[in-house]
Structure 1
């Protein structure tokens, strides 16, 4: 079934175990509820190189909220803030702080996507609705997933305006240079104790995903903490959702810290892909983005572990970029410190040189670096 559906859309099948009955064409956008959308937009433009795309607010007829839409290549962020007291957005921000509310998925039939997932057990969030203006129409629908996170299905083949109906083009004078970010490689969800399998089964049953890889507490553990993770993927491999849960350790793990400060399950990080990680990370660092650092000793034997790579080791060492290899190639990756006041959401920068894995060989060094940050916050 997945082969037939993907072939008809000229989409390669990367995960043949996935049923892929929707199918999903890619990530349309990620919406974050934030306390101050205007200032958050300036941060993502100035520090990350996102470009202004669209705006909705009082000037477009909205009375209760405002949204700024930013884009860099295939990555689109929607930053939404409330304009009045009360309501779901204020409640969400009070409970969770700034965070991801919606992972919107690009589909060719939003109504069918809603019907197929709901009949398989998804809880409805948004009944199918058509939004229309002079530039065409967009059909939207949505379902709940872990925590208060939702998936919005977006059908936009008949629309050629800015973002979607209800928005207007946003054209400020200020535009920062892009930093080479290309697309969302994967998005990671943190869930509570013993909930990982429940949500992996949700993605398998409700959305037709299949497990790509799994890690247990033997793979992801340090002297103090541990976690477990499974990676769920759709058939064409464009949507990958690792799901993490805590595992028993001597001290509080990063997953427990996240759940404590986020007050429940939610999106832990977005992994953004680049074709030149050295330039991207150099630009981001120069603009004030802070990254986790592993000890210098990591680089003493890393090439013995991963073998020959195209890049010179010195700039990777200078920037703190990690290297790992699997049977199909290698990858380069680095993780920011939390980008919010609460130690919740962070961003990964990743460049794949053939590898399809997620950096298993870096886990110990990475999580020890995270623990050093936790210790400085007094939450380890």
Structure 2
């Protein structure tokens, strides 16, 4: 397989401008380009090497909840729009033309590849469904080739982007945003301005799917067959067949993971931006409802549950995000008094008071069982924190993560993180019933 990396992740939402504003004003993303066609309005945002594309579909009547002042940037290509993929297109339950309610969803992980046509031919030979055919768009900055295929996971799709000959800031057909304050006037000053610090979220660390119980192996095999990705162990304690199991009452979960390295053929990583990690989360059978079941119900099936965004200084990042109004789920109140936790934090040299103040989890056992990283004398560890869901339904959320040499995910942190999400959902349900 040709090499690939994540080019952008797409949000399909009812209120595109509102979501784009929130990502910029609270999470420190910067708007770089926008676009309008007869089918959708779109906003391209960036933070470090991470790109988010926020898409708001136009209603069947041809109108949008947000009217544009003019139609000068309409870039429809005859009767099709090669950039617009409905976040219902990946669903198998609905028949063609069937109306579906628009539910906010993160649904498209776009891969930058060397040769779209070659990639599509290989995928179709593997039986992958082609949603958008290979097409090209050009402007003064060059030409980009794209195609979109359906994943085996719920409504998830993958747009393949060949842009080696393109020098623009995002994609042809998008208009560069020169003055973000005009577009996002909700901010006192955007994070690029002098009145706010940046959370410095540098790149995507991993993407997690919520899936039906028992479907993880099918997903793993599909991505290995179709995209050349390989299984990796989340933690040394993971069982090859069972995966990593968190069994704590009604928070029972099974996690399995796979990844793509640019130099996967020789087993070498090629840096943060070129390693693609996906995690599959499924509920254990014969247990009470938990956050995976909640996602599946509210999302109408499997999909992208959360994205981990990397920070080089998570205490600073969480502090800035909190000041900007981001709400987080908090760890169990006993977390920092668990046996050995104080010693663990002291040994790695982190400040207990600051971690506790911001509810940040730390794990010095966060190495995968097949880590390609060579051992060093310095202890490797991981720091993490989850946001509350971003949409009106309890589906998608973000994770802030800082890696200090660790390549996997810590057993203690996984349990604590998922328990914190479970506690938030239980409390929210209790408050809504009162």
Q: CA–CA distance in 2 between the matches of 1:318 and 1:30?
A: 31
Q: CA–CA distance in 2 between the matches of 1:74 and 1:255?
A: 29
Give 1:164 deviation, angstroms: 0.7
Which of 155, 176, 179 pairs up with 2:190? 176
Q: Which residue of 2 aligns with 1:185?
A: 205
TM-score for both structures, normalised by structure 2: 0.77
Give 1:205 deviation, angstroms: 1.0
Higher strand share: 1
Give 1:194 deviation, angstroms: 1.6
Contact 2:331 2:416 (C-alpha < 8 Å) held by counterparts: yes
Which of 315, 326, 351 pairs up with 1:278? 315
Q: Within 5 Å, which residues of 2 pair with 1:57-72?
A: 57=36, 62-72=37-47
Give 1:264 deviation, angstroms: 0.4
Q: Which residue of 2 aligns with 1:125?
A: 131
Q: Which residue of 1 aligns with 2:173?
A: 166
Contact 1:185 1:272 (C-alpha < 8 Å) held by counterparts: yes
Establish whether residue 34 from structure 1 lines up as the match of residue 7 from structure 2.
no
Give 1:196 deviation, angstroms: 1.1
Establish whether residue 157 from structure 1 lines up as the match of residue 208 from structure 2.
no
TM-score for both structures, normalised by structure 1: 0.87
Establish whether residue 308 from structure 1 lines up as the match of residue 283 from structure 2.
no
Establish whether residue 256 from structure 1 lines up as the match of residue 293 from structure 2.
yes
Q: Deviations over 1:19-78 (max 9, x none)?
A: xx2221x21001111111111111011000111100001xxxx22210011111101111
Q: Deviations over 1:162-215 (max 9, x none)?
A: 311111101234261132000000101111122111111101111111110155
The ranges of structure 1 where at least 4 consecutive aligned residues each deviate by more than 4 angstroms after the TM superposition are: 90-96, 214-218
Establish whether residue 73 from structure 1 lines up as the match of residue 52 from structure 2.
no
Q: 1:200 to 1:173 in 2, by over 3 A?
A: closer
Bigger shift: residues 115-124 or 250-259: 115-124
Q: Which residue of 2 aligns with 1:103?
A: 109
Give 1:94 deviation, angstroms: 5.2
Contact 1:22 1:207 (C-alpha < 8 Å) held by counterparts: no
Q: Which residue of 2 aligns with 1:358?
A: 409
Establish whether residue 294 from structure 1 lines up as the match of residue 301 from structure 2.
no
Q: Deviations over 1:126-145 (max 9, x none)?
A: 22111111110111122111
Flag structure 2 segments of 5+ consecutive residues without an equivalent. 63-84, 90-98, 182-188, 192-197, 263-268, 270-274, 368-374
Q: Deviations over 1:84-135 (max 9, x none)?
A: 2279748679546211121001112122222222212322122211111111
Q: Which residue of 2 aligns with 1:233?
A: 259
RMSD: 2.2
Flag structure 1 segments of 5+ consecutive residues without an equivalent. 1-20
Q: Secondary structure in 2 aligned to 1:229?
A: strand
Give 1:297 deviation, angstroms: 2.5
Q: 1:362 to 1:96 in 2, by over 3 A?
A: farther
Q: Deviations over 1:277-298 (max 9, x none)?
A: 1111100011111111113421
Q: Which residue of 1 aligns with 2:95?
A: none
Contact 1:31 1:100 (C-alpha < 8 Å) held by counterparts: yes
Q: 1:218 to 1:91 in 2, by over 3 A?
A: closer
Say which one has the larger Rg. 2
Q: Which residue of 1 aligns with 2:358?
A: 319
Give 1:313 deviation, angstroms: 1.5
Contact 2:244 2:256 (C-alpha < 8 Å) held by counterparts: no
Contact 2:11 2:107 (C-alpha < 8 Å) held by counterparts: yes
Contact 2:309 2:398 (C-alpha < 8 Å) held by counterparts: yes
Q: CA–CA distance in 2 between the matches of 1:332 and 1:218?
A: 19
Give 1:365 deviation, angstroms: 2.0
Q: CA–CA distance in 2 between the matches of 1:218 and 1:102?
A: 26
Q: CA–CA distance in 2 between the matches of 1:205 and 1:296?
A: 43
Establish whether residue 371 from structure 1 lines up as the match of residue 408 from structure 2.
no
